[in-house]
Amino acid sequence: MAASSANALAETHDEILALEEDTWRALQRSGADMIPYIAPDCIFQFPMGMKLAPTSKPSVVDVLHSPAFVPWKNFELSKVDVQSVGKGGAVISYFARATRPAAGPAETDRHEERDFPFEALCSSVWRWENGKWMMCFHQQTLAS
């Protein structure tokens, strides 16, 4: 591999990882804070058979703007791999560990609030469009 190709791949790796971490940080604040990172045609696939797309009911944007959205409390990404996918595309795959606070009364114990752990293998596809990277696909597979 030529030195310039290796440098470009390392740069793409760092840039895509930083963007993926930015999306998790956005989701620590609110679902709506994720919207600037996603392409208009973005598709999300979550555990338990939930698939969200621009035309699904509810749509990606509906869920991200929902008052029922519960932000992440913390997260850690490990075992990260980034691969170029042709010109202007990249896929990132990683193991995510995160926690969320209880969403509401049905999820809280009468005596204490609990955090809910989350462990999953995640992948996202990023596409270069209009001068910036945009997430166009994200998928999560529960680890346990």
Q: Domain spans of the chain?
A: 1-103+114-142
One CATH from 3.10.450.50, 3.30.70.940, 3.40.47.10, 3.40.50.920 for 1-103+114-142: 3.10.450.50
Answer for the pair 27, 19: CB distance below 8 angstroms, yes or no: no
User: pLDDT averaged over the chain?
Assistant: 90
Q: How far, in Å, CA of 36 to CA of 54, rounded?
A: 15
* Phi, psi values for residue 128, rounded to 5°: -80, 115
Given a contact cutoff of 8 angstroms between Cβ atoms, the answer to whether 73 and 99 are in contact is yes
| Each residue's pLDDT tens digit, 29-39 | 999 999 999 99
On the question of pLDDT at 111 being above 80, the answer is no
Positive or negative torsion for Cα 44, 50, 56, 61: negative
pLDDT of the residue at 83: 95
pTM of the model: 0.86
pLDDT digits (tens, 9 = 90+) for 49-90: 999 999 999 999 999 999 999 999 999 999 999 999 988 999
Angstrom distance (rounded) from CA 125 to CA 44: 10
Over residues 79-100, the pLDDT tens digits come to 999 999 988 999 999 999 999 9
Nearest to 141 by CA among 110, 115, 119, 108: 119
Q: How does DSSP classify residue 12?
A: H
Nearest partner of 77 among 1, 26, 24, 135, judged by Cα:
24
